[in-house]
Structure 1
Amino acid sequence: MRTTVQDAPGSLAALCTALAGHGVDILSLQTHPLADGTVDDFLLRAPGALPAAEITRAVALAGGTATWIERADAHDLVDVPTRVLGLAARTALDAAELPLALRQLLGRCTIRSLPGRPAGGGRGPQPVPVEGVLEDTVMRLPAPEGGVLTVERPYLPFTPTEFARARALVELDSRLGPRIPDGEDVLTLPAGDDITVRRVDTGDLVAARAMHDRCSPHTLGLRYHGPVGDADRYLNHLLSPRFGRTLAAQTASGRIVGLGHLLWDGDETEVALLVEDEWQQRGIGGELLGRLVAMAAEAGCASVYAVTKASNTGMVAAMRGLGLPLDYQVEEGTLVITARLDAAPVASAPGPRPPRLG
């Protein structure tokens, strides 16, 4: 619960007394002093039969204003310093963690990264000062790769403390530079071929572009829903850890034959696959997709979606192979398949799934 009280002796005591009168236990409390009052964040344990509206009414009678209540989850049970240190450690290991860390730090919010100079020319977004800008429900921070990182939370204004924590995470990410965790898995496909699955980023652009060049126009059309005029521009964005995570399947010679992308799309998560023609129908797409969905579930995503053509039977089969509840939407030949992550993903190959790659 968050509420605002006057910065005066006894105001917090009045709130605590009102909550105690309804059998509400205070598990933790943070205060955020402001110029015109104090914002108090409570973690409460309330009787199951006590409605949130009754708590809000009691708080209002005790002097609280702009009260907001939401059901807590497991993350809220960890004290804030420990949680922030954990998020910083994850961000330090993997550049793709920054959007996820910000979302866990700030709750339900929309995060967008605007490049300093858009592809194809034109002017980029208005630059922000090094220290960033806080505007009520919106914060804007200098993105580590250039441009602007925008975080929006329309239902609840950010406090200066939240802004300072977010700014510290972004600064940490910027100082460490591009990075992805080391690690790779070698596995045998049903047809008997051995491939290696590993995380890739923009450092693998040349190899990814070479795979693009080997793909037929039909395969590229299914992936990008039309002709691809500038593959470098697409791939540079897709491979950037700033926008998500990418897995590659490569042969023993190091040739990339498949790419799987997990893309942070605002407060949603997209999955996308591209497998070289010669290596299709061998289980590579399903293997990559299963690992991407496992990453999404671990990151706390409620669902993932794939956008493809209705005629792309391979992608449809891969999504169905997850063994998850699926929703389908079709509009003018474009198919959007959404998988709800309320069940464990099904491995595409028999046996236990190898450890995650980042």
Structure 2
Amino acid sequence: MNRKTSAESTVTDGRTVRGWRRDIIELAALLRTWWAGRHGHAPPEPTGMDGGAAASVLWRMRTTVKDQPGSLASLCIALAERRIDILSLQTHPLARGTVDEFLLRAPGELSAAEISGAVSRAGGQGTWIERADAHDLVDAPTRVLGLATRTALDAAELPLALRQLLGRCAIRSLPGGDPAALEGIPADGALEETDTVMRLRAPEGGVIIVERPYLPFTPTEFARARALVELDARLGPRVPHGQDVLTLSRGSAITVRRADARDLDAAKAMHERCSPRTLSLRYHGPMGDADRYLDHLLSPRYGRTLAVQTASGQVVGLGHLLWDGEETEIALLVEDEWQRRGVGGELLRRLVSMAREANCEHVYAVTQSSNTGMVAAMRGLGLPLDYQIEEGTLVITARLDPTPVASPRSYDHSGRD
């Protein structure tokens, strides 16, 4: 497939995006005239999303149409005949045909199969459809600008921004120390022939792999993802500077803040003050390897880290929110002398709030079945929990409901010091 650049994707056979928008406006007027001619009145206004027999449902749909006059009009007429309202339309030009992406409001009694069947009979091919929600009502340029802003403020946002930009997908990061991982990947990334995997050069020298097997990526999506990665690379390492000073129940003052690779030495020093049992409960492996994990854990590419710091400047606790494909892991380490003071619970509540802000549906913690402190902290969240135990390893999964966890303010890039 011959893929166009991001600049070229706005032009197909000499037709600009402005021209497409003009055609769509004219088509909308045509459809209203057609409807009035058949029914004696204009199309009814969209109904609400809740309750009643006339309730409507939002759908996201993609289909490929032939690149010839009248193809899109036939599809839109088929939707209008079934009282389906087109709320937005994006076109993704390809070498053969055009992928049209719709946001639809349809009568509640229409099923996905009925909608896709009507589209297929109108000439649509390779139709994909799924339920949408209110977040999809934000138009694409506004949503992309919002994701770019979040990425500019916080390097840890890049994987999340890519996931929200591209929908349900798995994102993995490979470190730059493996030359084989970079082999065959040009500087501006690559979209594989199947169009379901894109590989992007990470700013720190590694590779970001994005996979979406259920729906191929379009060249436009690839260009948008590449632009986000390029923005991240130009801005360099960054982390929000906000911090909170708290007083624990025993009167000790602590500071909770975001951490990154600049805290590596302080984190290693905390490891030296931790007992072998505390380290084993956290890392589940040889204690000599504990320091080796820190480069990964403190990298914003793999998640977000919170540090607990004393008035003297020592780091006595670390909390990690780690992106694991489509899943999200939570992990805690608190220095022995600061355990049972509420430090772990404080970190856990804040991490869960951050996960909710990132639109995560679940978080999970991996520990040993004998780690009663972690079990108690997870139960203290007041969330539905699932426990799985295998050979002494305990995995606790918390389902995040829409109700905010009772915790102090989250980090909103306000820059408080």
How far apart are the structure 2 equivalents of 1:58 and 1:83? 29
Code of the aligned partner of 1:203: R
Residue 141 (structure 2) aligned to one of 65, 71, 81: 81
Deviation at 1:125, TM superposition (A): 4.8
1:301 has 2:356 as partner: no
Residues 200-279 of structure 1 aligned to structure 2 (within 5 Å): 200-279=259-338
Per the alignment, residue 190 of structure 2 pairs with: 133
Contact 1:271–1:292 (8 Å) recurs in 2: yes
How far apart are the structure 1 equivalents of 2:404 and 2:308? 19
Contact 1:117–1:123 (8 Å) recurs in 2: no
Query: Which piece of structure 1 moves more, 66-75 or 36-45?
Result: 66-75
Query: Which piece of structure 1 moves more, 228-237 or 265-274?
Result: 228-237
Residues 93-104 of structure 1 aligned to structure 2 (within 5 Å): 93-104=153-164
Per the alignment, residue 162 of structure 1 pairs with: 221
How far apart are the structure 2 equivalents of 1:127 and 1:217? 43
How large is the Cα RMSD of the aligned pairs? 1.3
Query: Which piece of structure 1 moves more, 21-30 or 230-239?
Result: 230-239
Per the alignment, residue 107 of structure 1 pairs with: 167
Q: TM-score scaled to structure 2, two decimals?
A: 0.82
How far apart are the structure 2 equivalents of 1:15 and 1:70? 18
Residues 101-139 of structure 1 show CA distances to partners (whole Å, capped at 9, x for unaligned) of: 000000000000011215xxx854535101211121010
Deviation at 1:329, TM superposition (A): 0.3
Residue 88 (structure 2) aligned to one of 23, 28, 34: 28
How far apart are the structure 1 equivalents of 2:371 and 2:261? 27
Deviation at 1:4, TM superposition (A): 0.2
How far apart are the structure 2 equivalents of 1:14 and 1:130? 41
- Which segments of structure 1 move beyond 4 Å, counting only runs of 4 or more? 122-125
Distance 1:55 1:123, change over 3 A: closer
Identity between Structure 1 and Structure 2 (%) = 77
Contact 2:353–2:405 (8 Å) recurs in 1: no
Per the alignment, residue 27 of structure 2 pairs with: none
Equivalent residue of 2:251, what SS? coil
* Structure 1 residues without counterparts, runs of 5 or longer: none
Q: TM-score scaled to structure 1, two decimals?
A: 0.96
Deviation at 1:193, TM superposition (A): 1.1
1:13 has 2:13 as partner: no
How far apart are the structure 1 equivalents of 2:122 and 2:410? 52
Residues 312-331 of structure 1 aligned to structure 2 (within 5 Å): 312-331=371-390
Deviation at 1:357, TM superposition (A): 5.6
1:51 has 2:111 as partner: yes
Residues 172-187 of structure 1 aligned to structure 2 (within 5 Å): 172-187=231-246
How far apart are the structure 2 equivalents of 1:46 and 1:210? 59
Equivalent residue of 1:324, what SS? coil
How far apart are the structure 1 equivalents of 2:230 and 2:183? 19
How far apart are the structure 2 equivalents of 1:247 and 1:294? 12
How far apart are the structure 2 equivalents of 1:127 and 1:328? 43
Deviation at 1:228, TM superposition (A): 2.5
Distance 1:123 1:67, change over 3 A: closer
Residues 224-252 of structure 1 show CA distances to partners (whole Å, capped at 9, x for unaligned) of: 11323233320110000010000011100
Contact 2:368–2:392 (8 Å) recurs in 1: yes
Code of the aligned partner of 1:16: C
Equivalent residue of 1:192, what SS? coil
How far apart are the structure 1 equivalents of 2:288 and 2:182? 24
Deviation at 1:346, TM superposition (A): 3.9
Code of the aligned partner of 2:177: R
Code of the aligned partner of 1:129: P
Deviation at 1:261, TM superposition (A): 0.2
How far apart are the structure 2 equivalents of 1:158 and 1:146? 24
How far apart are the structure 1 equivalents of 2:189 and 2:404? 39
Contact 1:322–1:345 (8 Å) recurs in 2: no
Distance 1:336 1:125, change over 3 A: farther
Contact 2:354–2:410 (8 Å) recurs in 1: no
How far apart are the structure 2 equivalents of 1:123 and 1:209? 30
Equivalent residue of 2:187, what SS? coil
Query: Which piece of structure 1 moves more, 229-238 or 147-156?
Result: 229-238
Deviation at 1:212, TM superposition (A): 0.6
